[in-house]
């Protein structure tokens, strides 16, 4: 891996961070989870890690934030590891929706009434019900342990204020989950499934954690630094494909054209992305654009990808 490229990124970052941070004023911090509205609207940070463990970081890269929808990539992978493809794709589809991440429109319009994909809320709730474990506590603990393993950070934990704030106000997710239960998509008690879901959304990370998790995906499920094999290659392939087709919700097409990398965003303003075979990347910028992705974070990734010719397409 070229250390020269990382040096070049390090040299370019300060100007780009300053320039792209100005975009924050055109975005809005998510407030439908009340506690999220306390996030700093002007923040923008990035951390990039390579296979030798070298890193470049800049801006507000140490800002803690919650995984939110980024966690859906990893619950999908864990559900695949627990159940295999056949069981998982009996309960969720493989197609983008073109609708908002919290829409339940298509659940009633299309047969079979399973969520279109595992990265929209309905699909991720269905995936939460497929995590193995004899109790809700055990299921959540398995997800958290898996995230800690991938991030190489045993101290990852829930942000309990965000967890409670979401759990107390999640009327739409609740209605979606009861609808899924009625359709025979969810296993177990609806409130238990939702608890697993709210907990994995509320895991607190920094950009460095996201970069390390992404580095494993960028290397087909292996940690290139320790040599450990953490995820079967096939499941990484499935996860990365969903990241390209649906990871940035209904801005995924535009992101594929402008950045050209597999990515997953969250309403906290986080983006996990990677340059396959090379880098894991974590970005945070809580001000979101119209389609729910970090407005400055996406602009920063566009600049990086275009300058360094990272697009896969």
Q: Which residues are catalytic?
A: 69, 72, 197, 249, 267
Alpha-carbon dihedral angle through residues 233, 237, 73, 138, given to the nearest 10 degrees: -30
Per DSSP, what are the bridge partners of residue 274? 280
Residue 300 CB, nearest approach to ligand DON (Å): 17
Residue 161: CB atoms within 10 A of its CB come to 14
At 272 the three-state DSSP class reads strand
Residue 188: CB atoms within 10 A of its CB come to 14
Alpha-carbon dihedral angle through residues 128, 134, 139, 142, given to the nearest 10 degrees: -130
Residue 38: CB atoms within 10 A of its CB come to 12
Residue 262 CB, nearest approach to ligand DON (Å): 15
Rounded to an integer, what distance in angstroms lies between the CA atom of residue 256 and that of residue 267?
19
What is the 3 state secondary structure string of 134-194?
CCHHHHHHHHHHHHHHHHCCCCCEECHHHHHHHHHHCHHHHHHHHHHHHCCCCCCCHHHHH
Cβ-based nearer residue to ligand DON, 267 or 295: 267
Cβ-based nearer residue to ligand DON, 45 or 286: 286
Rounded to an integer, what distance in angstroms lies between the CA atom of residue 217 and that of residue 243?
11
Cβ-based nearer residue to ligand DON, 68 or 206: 68
Exposed / middle / buried, residue 32 (Cβ in 10 Å: 0-12, 13-18, 19+): middle
| Helix ranges (DSSP H) in the chain | 3-21, 71-83, 85-91, 105-109, 121-128, 136-151, 160-169, 171-182, 190-201, 207-218, 233-246, 252-258, 295-308
Residue 273 CB, nearest approach to ligand DON (Å): 14
Residue 8 CB, nearest approach to ligand DON (Å): 31
Cβ-based nearer residue to ligand DON, 198 or 235: 198
Cβ-based nearer residue to ligand DON, 212 or 252: 252
Positions touching ligand DON (CB under 6 A) are 68-69, 101-102, 121, 166, 173, 201, 249, 265-267, 292
Residue 139 CB, nearest approach to ligand DON (Å): 17
Cβ-based nearer residue to ligand DON, 68 or 75: 68
Q: Strand 55-59 relative to strand 203-205: parallel, antiparallel, unpaired?
A: unpaired
């Amino acid at each position: 891996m070229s250390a020269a490229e990382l040096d070049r990124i390090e040299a370019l970052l300060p100007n780009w961070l300053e320039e792209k941070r100005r975009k924050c004023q055109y975005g809005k911090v998510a407030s439908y989870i009340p506690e999220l509205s306390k996030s700093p609207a002007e923040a923008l940070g990035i951390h990039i890690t390579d296979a030798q463990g070298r890193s470049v970081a800049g801006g507000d890269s140490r800002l803690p934030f919650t995984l939110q929808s980024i966690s859906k990539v990893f619950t999908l992978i864990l559900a695949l590891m627990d159940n295999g493809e056949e069981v998982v794709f009996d309960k969720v589809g493989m197609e983008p929706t073109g609708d908002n991440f919290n829409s339940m429109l298509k659940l009633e319009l299309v047969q079979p009434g399973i969520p279109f994909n595992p990265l929209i809320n309905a699909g991720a709730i269905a995936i939460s019900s497929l995590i193995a474990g004899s109790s809700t506590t055990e299921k959540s603990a398995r997800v958290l342990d898996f995230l800690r393993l991938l991030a190489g950070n045993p101290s990852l934990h829930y942000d309990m204020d965000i967890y409670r704030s979401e759990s107390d106000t999640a009327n739409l997710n609740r209605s979606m989950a009861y609808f899924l239960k009625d359709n025979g998509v969810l296993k177990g008690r609806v409130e238990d499934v939702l608890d697993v879901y709210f907990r994995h959304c509320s895991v607190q990370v920094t950009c460095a954690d996201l970069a390390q998790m992404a580095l494993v995906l960028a290397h087909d499920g292996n940690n290139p630094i320790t040599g450990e094999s953490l995820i079967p290659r096939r499941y990484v392939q499935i996860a990365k494909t969903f990241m390209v087709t649906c990871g940035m919700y209904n801005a995924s097409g535009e992101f594929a054209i402008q950045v050209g990398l597999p990515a997953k965003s969250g309403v906290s303003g986080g983006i996990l992305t990677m340059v396959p075979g090379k880098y894991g990347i974590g970005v945070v910028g809580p001000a979101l654009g119209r389609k729910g992705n970090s407005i400055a974070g996406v602009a920063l990734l566009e600049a990086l990808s275009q300058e360094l010719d990272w697009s896969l397409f």
